[in-house]
Amino acid sequence: MLACAPTATAQENPFERGPDPTERSIEAPRGPFATATTTVARGGVQGFGGGTIYYPTDTSEGTFGAVAISPGFTESQSAISWYGQRLASQGFVVFTIDTNGIFDFPDQRGDQLLAALDYLTTHSTVADRIDADRLGVLGHSMGGGGSLSAVDERTELQAAIPLAPWHLNQNWSGVDVPTMIIGGETDFIAPVDTHAEPFYQSLPSSLDKAYLEMKGKGHFVTNSPNTVIAKFAISWLKRFIDNDTRYERFLCPAPSPDAEISEYRDTCPH
């Protein structure tokens, strides 16, 4: 599948991809890169349940950073599929995965995210498009807990975005990877006061970290296209996977609460 978009321009920073960003460009449903997809069959991989790779078709600017994304408890990759083309069109290779089992717990999902990144960078058909030193993880619910497990285990990753994360572990003081946690104010499955907020608080104070809480939204707010979530997720990944300081202004200074955001915390400046 191919989606047409304007050609992106080269930048001076070797990791920058695409034209100078604007509020409009990062809030748009599609970014400057045309994208394509390829399916990875469950039976053709080990360590996770297969998935779908979304990637930019234009390689004129060089290789791209990459992210793997895990769904939550009982979910398939369809629950987080909207991130695929949204992020790929901004200049990332994106792997939305299925887990080995829909009842897998967070630490298992963390291991599967790492297995997916290993496959993506070494055996996938798009491995030559990826800079294996610029990788990140996302995940919803138990997949969000899995993304915390993944960066706790593999400290060389560049970014993590746990989405409405669920995990029995409340202490993530060992994480050394820039992490943005996104939660829903009215989440009753992974309530923010017992999950997302204490997870954020437990992250080292010296770490580049952020906490975004969606006003009046529940556990599944992250599972369908959302302009606010996309804006901050794109900016976070660009800032830390691509080291692209052009996106710093969308993160710092931290936004004030408004009709969409009930709370936002950040360790600005990064």
Q: Which residues are catalytic?
A: 141, 187, 219
CA gap 257, 201 in Å, rounded: 19
Return the residue matching tokens 């890169």.
Answer: 33
How wide is the angle at C-alpha 96 spanned by C-alphas 124 and 270, nearest 5°? Answer: 100
Q: Two tokens at 29?
A: 């449903």
Signed CA dihedral, 197, 268, 139, 213: sign only: positive
> For residue 190, what is the enclosing H or E element?
none
Using alpha carbons, select from 226, 222, 251, 257 the residue that is nearest to residue 236: 251
| Whether the Cβ atoms of residue 93 and residue 55 lie closer than 8 Å to each other | yes
CA gap 257, 261 in Å, rounded: 5
Q: Give the SS3 label for residue 210.
A: strand
Cis ω before 269 (30° cut-off from 0) = yes
Taking each helix axis as running N to C, give the angle between helix 142-153 and helix 106-122, from 0 to 180 degrees, rounded to the nearest 10: 60
